[in-house]
């Protein structure tokens, strides 16, 4: 009698990973006092503020950014740390705010690196939070602010 051993099958090359943004990063409504401060959205959906920034409950959505990642189950993926990169948000009123995403080890729902745990076509949901630096009323007049940020997913 012969025992036949089989190893793990090599994945197809190249391994492809697909990332789809499904929801933006929203900070909701807030106001600032004379000194400003910051407002933070955690990857798990919590909201907090520092300084003279006050969170308002006016029905405006606040939530982390959500990305769906699809690939071969077991693929190792890392997220590039761009915590030192400020992203600029511009206001409808001429003001600007600075967005920082924070290190992916602590500012995502999965950390980095992580292993895809869903078999394609199923997708793994990744949530990413961020912090806005808010100035005083002269620097950041009331209004809507928007901008873009970059998140890089690396298949290892």
Alpha-carbon distance of 12 to 36, in angstroms, equals 52
Q: In this structure, are residues 104 and 154 in contact, taking their beta carbons and an 8 Å threshold? A: no
- CA atoms of 109 and 143, how far apart (whole Å): 30
Where do the structural domains in the chain lie, given as residue ranges? 18-155
Alpha helix locations (H) across the chain? none
Residue 107's nearest CA partner among 134, 89, 85, 140 is 85
Q: Please write the tens of the pLDDT for every residue from 49-74.
A: 999 999 999 989 999 999 999 988 88
Beta partners for residue 108, in sequence order: 128
Share of the chain above pLDDT 70, in %: 92
Report the pLDDT value the prediction gives residue 6, as an integer from 0 to 100: 65
pLDDT tens digits for range 101-135 = 988 888 888 888 999 988 878 889 999 999 999 99
Look-up: residue for tokens 């409504």?
A: 29
CA distance 66 to 49: 21
């Amino acid at each position: 009698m012969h025992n036949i051993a089989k190893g793990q099958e090599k994945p197809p090359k190249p391994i492809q990973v697909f990332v789809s943004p499904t929801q933006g990063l929203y900070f909701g409504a807030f106001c600032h006092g004379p000194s400003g401060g910051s407002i933070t959205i955690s990857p798990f959906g919590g909201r907090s503020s520092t300084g003279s920034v006050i969170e308002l409950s006016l029905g405006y959505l606040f939530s982390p950014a959500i990305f769906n990642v699809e690939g071969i189950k077991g693929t190792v993926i890392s997220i590039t740390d761009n915590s030192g990169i400020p992203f600029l948000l511009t206001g409808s009123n001429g003001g600007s705010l600075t967005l920082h995403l924070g290190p992916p080890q602590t500012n995502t729902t999965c950390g980095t690196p992580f292993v895809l745990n869903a078999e394609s076509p199923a997708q793994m949901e990744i949530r990413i939070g961020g912090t806005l630096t808010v100035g005083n009323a002269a620097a950041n007049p009331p209004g809507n602010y928007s901008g873009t940020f970059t998140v890089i997913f690396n298949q290892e």
